[in-house]
Amino acid sequence: MPKVTVIVPAYNAEQTIVATIASVQQQTYQDWELIVINDGSSDRTLELLKRIREPRMRVYHYSNAGVSVARNRGIALAQGELIAFLDADDLWSADKLELQAAALQQYPHAAVAYSWTYFMNATATTIHAAPGVWFEGDVYQQLLVRNFLYSGSNPLVRRDALVLVGGFEPTLTHGEDWELFVRLAAVVQFVVVPVGQVFYRQSSTSASAQVDLMEQRLLLVIDSVFSAAPPQFLSLKSHCLANLYQYLTGLHLAQATNLEDVQQAGKKLEIAVRLSPKILLNQTTQYFFVKWFLMQLFSPDITKKLRQFSTAYIMHFKLKQV
């Protein structure tokens, strides 16, 4: 039986699925199986998967049910005692599984190993490192404030821990990874691999491109998470919400094509500051303020030219920046 199960949920991933699978095949740690959940793709995803020669890969087909259900289906099929998730548009460095598995072996009291993250654009031609963090052990409080793992493609998790918390919440389409990480942090310990190993892709078709929908759904997730939190942590909710609105500010600035978009960014930034005034001391908040101000002054053409500079910063945030 393999030591590690890698679960890849795939929905209309023809542009990236081959590279994603290749990043699993290129792992220096080779004791793995790969489960691909084809979540009702209507493009060439299945055709491309059939061309891949990999005896350790199994592909399962379902009607579209969303990423949370797809990952849970993979967990139910997994044979490994350690489970990793890799979204169909993300990539890993070759030593990702090796170093994370070693960390869990070295620290048997921990059930989740995570690494540092790089963010890349749709074509993987622009890559930026997220700030490294060192949170280990009981990380519940830190995760309530920000998702310092950034994506579901990051952690290696003991299967027993996933079973204990019940896997992903199947109704969630946004923030489902953060919500699971918080539930895990409430009952198990984390260990960090202080190396950039996860390449998280941001594109116009990703969930983060749907700003208004993301805001609505993440607000519901935050309410749910804090309704389950012990009373002593409830004061952190305003900080968490401020981080969300800072993130939404960056998304609006990065995707802005007209002054109305810029004005929406300003409104989100105002909410963030009102929720947590000390966020003004944060360098990213200051950057967003300057960018918002400049966009107010210049034409939409200048705005478009500046958009590329926002991308490096908004990629750093997914409910995460203090």
Per-residue pLDDT tens over the stretch 67-83: 999 999 999 999 999 99
In the prediction, which pLDDT does 151 show? Answer: 96
What pLDDT score does 203 carry? 67
What confidence tens digit (pLDDT) does each residue in 266-309 have? Answer: 999 999 999 999 999 988 899 899 889 988 887 555 655 655 55
> Per-residue confidence at 142, pLDDT binned at 50, 70, 90?
very high
Q: How many residues does the chain have?
A: 322
For residue 147, is pLDDT > 50? yes
**Residue 9, token pair as written in the block:** 């949920």
Exposure string for 142-159, b = 16+ CB within 10 A, e = fewer: bbbbbbbbbbbbbbbbbb
pTM for the complete prediction?
0.90
Query: Which residues touch 94 (CB under 8 Å, ≥6 apart)?
Result: 23, 26, 27, 28
- Give the pLDDT confidence of 29-55 residue by residue, as tens digits: 999 999 999 999 999 999 999 999 999
- Could you give the domains of the chain? 4-201 (3.90.550.10), 210-314 (no CATH)
* Pick from 268, 267, 247: nearest CA to 313: 247
Q: Is 31 left (phi over 0), alpha (psi -120 to 50) or beta?
A: beta
Q: What is the pLDDT of residue 159?
A: 98
pLDDT level of residue 322 (50, 70, 90 thresholds):
very low
* Region 116-121 average pLDDT: 92
What average pLDDT does the segment 227-238 reach?
97
Question: Distance (Å, rounded) from C-alpha 45 to C-alpha 18?
Answer: 9
What is the mean pLDDT of the segment spanning 92-101?
A: 98
β-partners of residue 201 are: 120
Residue 126 has what pLDDT? 80
Digit-coded pLDDT (tens) for 237-246: 999 999 999 9
Instruction: Say which amino acid occupies 310.
Output: S
Q: What percent of the chain has a predicted confidence (pLDDT) above 90?
A: 77
Q: Is 95 left (phi over 0), alpha (psi -120 to 50) or beta?
A: alpha
